Amino acid sequence: MNIIWHGQSFFEIVTKDRENKELKIVIDPFNEGIGFKVPKTEARILLITHQHSDHSNKKAISGTPFLIEEPGEYEINGVHIKGIPAFHDNIQGEKRGDIIIYLIETEDIKICHLGDFGQKELTSEQLDQLGDVDILVVPVGGVYTIDAKGASKIISQIEPKLVIPMHYQIPKLKLKLNSLEQFLKEIGSSAIEPQKKLKVKSFNLPKEKMEIAVLEPC
């Protein structure tokens, strides 16, 4: 499996279907209004966490992907996906509305993408629906989502094996978010060399201690 980040919450997960053919999952494609050129990509599955324009540019994705933008449980070509309702803020969605947390199970790996999560903590029901998580993709930039301290709390609730931070300040981003360094400092981690893509298999996930993987937007 390969995991690629384009910035904000826009991810590609390149995995295999039940026939061992390549299957690409795309999550939260943005538009050019945030300052980035929109990459050309296609998908067989497209996940939208919420309808804000920097997360729901469906027209940017070619092909005829299976679109998921509602909570529920789905099975597409051997990939299992669960959409769990959550809030974009810490006041029951009154300010920024609802989002969907996605739990993706493929290649014996469970990946949780939190979208623009804004709650102070996960509810017991949300935690029950998530269960064990191998890879957690978590926003850390604050302002529109949880910040470094909030992300640290959510990580301690979920206890994943691997964490990928997202939705923080990077060059050319027109939004003003907190830095990755603030998150790394909060969790007591030193600087981490970014990688263009994360290659992962179930057998090489961290076993003894949680690790952080930083992706370079591409």
For position 92, what pLDDT does the model report? 86
Q: How many domains does the chain have?
A: 1
143 dihedral zone (left: phi>0; alpha: psi -120 to 50; beta): left
B/e letters for 163-198, b = 16+ CB within 10 Å, e = fewer, are bbbbbbbbeebeeebbebebbbebbeeeeeeeeeeb
Residue 155 covered by a domain = yes
Residue 109 covered by a domain = yes
* Alpha-carbon radius of gyration of the chain: 16
Cα–Cα distance for residue pair 99/101, rounded to 1 Å: 7
**3-state SS class at 13:** strand
Residue 168 covered by a domain = yes
Angle, CA 54 vertex, CA 165 and CA 106 arms, to 5°: 50
Residue 92 covered by a domain = yes
For position 99, what pLDDT does the model report? 97
Cα–Cα distance for residue pair 48/142, rounded to 1 Å: 20
pTM of the model: 0.96
- 8 DSSP assignment: T
Query: In this structure, what CATH number is given to the domain that contains residue 99?
Result: 3.60.15.10
For position 108, what pLDDT does the model report? 97
For position 195, what pLDDT does the model report? 96
Residue 218 covered by a domain = no
Tens digit of pLDDT at every position of the chain (218 positions) = 999 999 999 999 999 999 999 999 999 999 988 988 999 899 999 999 998 878 889 999 999 999 999 999 999 999 999 999 999 998 988 888 899 999 999 999 999 999 999 999 999 999 999 999 999 999 999 999 999 999 999 999 999 999 999 999 999 999 999 999 999 999 999 889 999 999 999 999 999 899 999 999 99
Residue 217 covered by a domain = no
Residue 12 covered by a domain = yes
Query: Range of 54's domain?
Result: 2-212
For position 96, what pLDDT does the model report? 85
Residue 78 covered by a domain = yes
